[in-house]
Structures are given as C-alpha cells and as structure tokens.
Chain A
C-alpha cells in the first residue's frame, strides 16, 4: 500500500511494526498500540477544537454583521490560542461547600463522553478506532455518561443556579434521547446492522435520500443533545446565570467549553456518518484518503448548518421545548419507523431506484401531513408590530448639519 493513497493507515502500520519489533510479552504490543492510538486521537480532537472555536466565532460574527476575531494572525486564526493560554493561567477557584469528587469529576466526564464517540466512528474506509457491532448503542450509552457529568456538576457545585441548570439539562437530554434513538433505528433497519462501519458501507445511496423524515428528526434531536441555542435552556444567562457550570473557573470551565464545542462537531459528524454516507464519494473506495477529505467536507457543511441554527434562532421556552419533543418528534419518529418498515418490506425485491424514490416520497408525505397537523389551522401571521416602514439613515438627519461633509 503506497503512502499517498492512505497516509494515516500507512503511519498506523509503521507504528504497529515498530511496536512488534520490541521483544515484550504477547498482547502487549496491541495494548500499547491502542493506548497510543487513543492518546493521539484524543489529543488531536482537543487541538482541533482550537480551530472549531475560531470557525464558529468567525461565522457567528458574519451572521451578526460583525467581523468576528480578526486581530491575531491571518483572519484572526490565533485568537483561540491566545484565549486558551489565558484560560490556562487563570486561578482555579473551588467554592466553599462543594462535593469534592463530584465537582472535579464532572468536567472530565463531560469531555471524555464526547471523545469516546470518536472511537467508533469510521473516518475513512480503512481508518477507524474499533468496529464494534453495537456502535449506535455505544454512542447513546456514552451520551448518558455526559448527562451524568452535567448532573454531577450541578450537584457538586453547591449552588442553586447550577442545580436548576443541571436539572433542566437532564430533563432535556433524557427527553430528546427518545426521538434520537427512534430515528437512529431507521438507518439500523435499512442497513441491517448497528455498527457504524457497516451502516456507512451499506449507504448506497445516502440515507438522507431514503429517509429524509428520520434524518430531520435525528438532526433536531442531536442539536438538542448538544444543548446549544435554541436548546440552551440549561445555561440561559438571563434566567439562571450560566447553569451548571456557573461555579467553575479557569481550566475546569475550559473543559466544559471544549466539551460543548467538541460535542457540536461530533454531533455533526455522527449525522454525516448515519445519514450522509460518511466517507462515501467518488473514488473513496480506491483512495481512502479522499474518503477522509469527503468526510470532513460533509461534516463542515453540517456544522455550518448547526451554527446557522444557533446564530439565528431565539431560545425556546421550557414548555415549548418539551412540547416539541413529546408531542411532535416522538410520535412522528414512531410513525416514520412503522411506515418505513412496512413500505420497505412491501418493496422487497423491486429495483433499487424504485425503492429509493417511493421511500423518499412516503417520507415527504409524512413530513407534509405532520406539518399540517401541527399547524392545525392556526394562522401563521401574527399581529403586526410597529410600522412597515423601516427607518433608514438619510442625509436629512437632525444630527448632521448641512454642509458638514455628509452628502446625499
């Protein structure tokens, strides 16, 4: 295998050969290899966050008609590094009356839970941590550890706001796990496997074309799982200061911050893996490094959508958030599962293109009916606030004297 076709696996094999040449007991070479792999992947992910923070701040700036960071380095690229160094030097304040173990375990858990999701995701045809047969279940189980981290942070901080924030976060995460799991069942059903590697292999065509309704529910549920706007009730600044992480400072707060950014990126690449074909693309089978490139391009497109979501939507009220989950997404995903299972079975043996077109049509019909039912004859046009005429800056502004240089 040449270097340029698949550099990452080439390096992995080289390291494996190096480890095998050291004379130690059987099995130790594999163990040390896995430890090195886990360390490199985790460290790489943590450094990658520096770039993600810049990307997100720059985009949010553009959405809000600002420049975003633009002082340090080209296009402000070094700004997150400066911020990171600043957060390293900050004092770690431990408030009085904290539950020591819970308080210190929480930031570690919330980052580790996200990093563990990187272990089962196939980045290209040949490059993945492990191929376990219950990959999707693993993702959800590990997400549960993240919830535990939030709960420990809220409890251990000995602060009312932190506790309220943690309870809100847990209520939201547990609720949105239901449509998340149910919509993830559709790709499992279509590919006949729970392993993420097999799901990507089976995506011919992408599952977003076969099951757009499930993809839609999965996307919303994974945004809710990351706990960002419009689902950021857990850290609603105007109501509960900053939620569960209010008592954390310095690097411990930095861990939560990194965990949140990494979770958003991880959620987008899980969406890519499950519904957008993962590393699939032209020539990705022959040249695996192309697959890696396709994977990251797709992930950044989804991540862009996630940031657009965050930058343009106001925060939900807690009852709206719960209504959306239990009255819309959960019944919708149940209907989607049943209809897709039925239609898929009826079309058994028919041509592949026919199956895809019919399933796509059925999904679209489900979305349309759901949209009609939700709206239920409610008028969408609210009362008009203010006048239709927008105030526009014009030269006859009272503050500008004629002849001062401002010309019309």
Chain B
C-alpha cells in the first residue's frame, strides 16, 4: 500500500465521518464545524489527485467564505443551543431509503465501469492543465455560456441583496 493510498483512506474516512456528524450532532454550531472538516477532507482528496488548484479553491470558497456565512446564519438561528429537541424529524425513513438507493446505484454503476480497476496515473507536473482550464472557461466552443450565465446569476443576487438592504434602511429612516 503506497503512501498516497493511506492518505486517501484517512481523508475519505474523515470526510465521511464528519459528514455523518453534520447531521448527527445536537448543536447546530457543531454541525457547521463538522461541515468544515468534511469540506477540508474533500480538499485533501483534490490535493491527492494532483488537482492543487481545486484543493486551494475548495478551501478558499467553501471554508473561507461559505462556511463562515453558514456560521453567521447559525448564529442568527433561534434555539441553536437547544439540546432537548429530538434529533430526527418525522418521516426520516424516506430520505434514508433514498440515500441508500442512490448509494447502491452509484456503487453498482461505478463497479461495472471498465476503468474501475485502473490505478491512479501520475500526471506530468506542468501548469498547462490550469491554463487549459482557464481557456476553456472563455472559449465559445467550451464553457463560456454556462460561465457567463453563472456570472449573471451572481450579479442578480448581488443587486437583489443591495435592493433588500436599501429598502430596509428607508423604512427605518
């Protein structure tokens, strides 16, 4: 067993365990912290696949920005410290069943895939991959339309947020 496989197993175990703890822990704040650990595990997986850029972006976007926003919203939530409420909702079996079915389907499909047994290939360590990724984002034959649509969506969200904030201020004043 190579060192990379050990890293993969540890990272995968940490990711899955903390993913379970996100829904299993009683305090919402702890759920948010477990979520951060889970996302960090995914960043390690990206790193072990020689996708350093995605590992860094995973930390930058998900841990640096999104998880902090989640913690903000958790702080604004009522009853976040409450440990008395039941941990399960009514009809919990339905999502659990769906999750099991989805996992089973994915496992079957991936294990019947031809390249399932192929070991990890070492990529040449050149930054051309990243440059190709950047070019594909602005290439008309590549992903320019999804990229631009996502930008417009974000812009709309930004304008909407400003609109809501300004309206609140006028009512108060």
* Chain A interface residues (CB < 8 Å from chain B): 27, 31, 99, 101-102, 132-134, 137-138, 140-145, 147-148, 151-152, 155, 170, 174, 177, 193
Contact = CB atoms under 8 A, between A and B. Distances in A.
Interface stretch (B67-75, B110-118, B150-158): B67-75
Interface in B110-162: 127, 130
Contact of A133 (B52, B57, B71): B52
A31 B3 CA distance: 10
Contacts of A31: 3
Contacts of A140: 60, 64
Contact of A137 (B60, B63, B65, B75): B60
A137 B68 contact: no
A155 B130 CA distance: 38
Residue among B3, B56, B57, B71 having the largest count of chain A Cβ atoms under 10 Å: B56
B130 A133 contact: yes
Interface of B: 3, 29-30, 33, 36, 52-53, 56-57, 59-60, 63-65, 67-68, 71-72, 75, 127, 130
Given A137-B53, A138-B56, 13 more contacts: A99-B29, A101-B30, A101-B33, A102-B33, A133-B52, A134-B56, A137-B56, A137-B57, A143-B64, A144-B60, A145-B59, A145-B64, A155-B71
Nearest to A154: B75
A147 B127 contact: no
11 contacts: A99-B29, A132-B56, A133-B52, A134-B56, A137-B53, A137-B57, A141-B63, A155-B71, A170-B72, A174-B68, A177-B64
A174 B30 CA distance: 22
A386 B122 CA distance: 74
Contacts, number: 61
Nearest to A198: B127
A134 B52 contact: yes
A144 B64 contact: yes
A27 B64 contact: no
A148 B56 contact: no
B68 A145 contact: no
Contacts of B30: 99, 101
Contact of A144 (B29, B65, B130): B65
Contact of A141 (B29, B33, B36, B64): B64
B75 A144 contact: no
A234 to B, nearest CB: 15
Contact of B63 (A101, A148, A170): A148
B30 to A, nearest CB: 8
Nearest to A144: B64
A141 B59 contact: yes
Contacts of B127: 133, 193
A132 B63 contact: no
A58 B15 CA distance: 48
Contacts of B53: 133-134, 137
A178 B130 CA distance: 23
Nearest to B69: A174
Nearest to A133: B127
A140 B57 CA distance: 10
Nearest to B3: A27
Nearest to A27: B3
Given A132-B52, A148-B36, A170-B68, A155 B59 contact: no
A69 to B, nearest CB: 37
